[in-house]
Amino acid sequence: MVRKALLAMVVLSLISSVATATIAYAKSSQGEKSMGGLFGGFFHSYIDIEVDEESLQRLNEPIPLESTVSINVKIIYWHDIPDFWAARRWLLFHTPTPQQRIHIEVVNITGGAINARPLIGDLNVDVPEKGGRENGKTVTATISITPLRDARCQPTYLTIVASCEDFGVLRGARKEITIPFTPGFIASVSVDAPGSVTVSPHETKDIVIKVRNVCNRNVKVLAEPVGEARERWGASVQPSFMEIPAGETGVFRLSIIGPYELGWHEEISTLRIKFTVTPQPEIGGTEPYIFYSDFTAQNVGFYMPLPLIAAIVVVLAIIGVAVFYISKFRKGS
């Protein structure tokens, strides 16, 4: 009696599986390629990808170059097989504990100079006993992102793909999600200016200063003389600022005027130009970066103001008159 009951249960299980598979195939799989097996391809797998909130917040800040940020993504897996008894797992998957293998990869990185990969490329997830997303199983994948030294500080995107192959009566599935991030900003400029210039008192001299943007983003450069250059030499820069694209060079022209009191031959002064560098467009929370360039100005002559020349002429004239009268007086005596 017990044997007959067990046999009846097995037969009913087989019939139910066949009937369920046939109905599901007729409803949702018409026109799709069967993936092998007696009931292969009758049912569908589904995958969804979600980035957790903490990781999203981490990606809102620029990622420093040559440092690694890890983000966690949830991989949710489900199917559309109606409820199946434990006894039918053998028929549908040939195992009492079926697991689907989810393959994770990173593709389509824009901008270049980015290393991004999953820490584990394949994850196993239990096949849910019931269909529907609400009954899905979840595994967590970790993606590491490392901007290299040559990465541009601009919005960059990478695509995370999760996929699975055919398994038992289930078709494979694929899901992808694109996430944005920004590599960190490196502020650096190369200044090409003369090491020294020669100038005479009250002489105006123009000096060409070339500034190359070696940052990883467009920048605005403000140039201004400071200290003795501004206060004593009346230095000015044209233009006072300019936007320089990454990898390109901007040209500033510095004008200086030798002071009247510059001194005697070969007096040397050190002049300083201040460069303020700001990323363009600006990055929230990023302060301007300051760079300085120094060069020397050497006197090659002297200058005597007209009032001083007039005073000297007057003094010499007085001395000459005095000498004349003294000489005349001596002759008369």
DSSP-assigned beta bridge partners for residue 43: 170
Per-residue pLDDT of 38-84, as tens digits, reads 445 678 999 999 999 899 888 988 899 999 999 999 999 999 887 76
Taking CA 74 as the corner, what is the angle to CA 135 and CA 32, rounded to the nearest 5 degrees?
A: 60
Per-residue pLDDT of 197-252, as tens digits, reads 888 888 889 999 999 999 999 999 999 999 988 888 889 999 999 999 999 999 99
SS3 readout for the chain: CHHHHHHHHHHHHHHHHHHHHHHHHHHHCCCCCCCCCCCCCCECEEEEEEECHHHHHHHCCCECCCCCEEEEEEEEEEECCCCCCHHHHHHHHCCCCCEEEEEEEEECCCCCCEEEEECCCEEEEECCCCCCHHHCEEEEEEEEEEECCCCCCCCEEEEEEEEECCECCECCEEEEEEEEECECCCCCEEEECCCEEEECCCCEEEEEEEEEECCCCCEEEEEEEECHHHHCCCCEEECCEEEECCCCEEEEEEEEECCCCCCCCCCEEEEEEEEEEEECCCCCCCCCEEEEEEEEEEECCCCCCHHHHHHHHHHHHHHHHHHHHHHHHHHHC
Per-residue pLDDT of 172-205, as tens digits, reads 999 999 999 999 998 889 999 888 888 888 888 9
Distance of alpha carbon 54 from the chain centroid: 20
Write down the pTM of the prediction.
0.67
Structural domains in the chain plus CATH codes: 29-181 (2.60.40.10), 195-299 (2.60.40.2310)
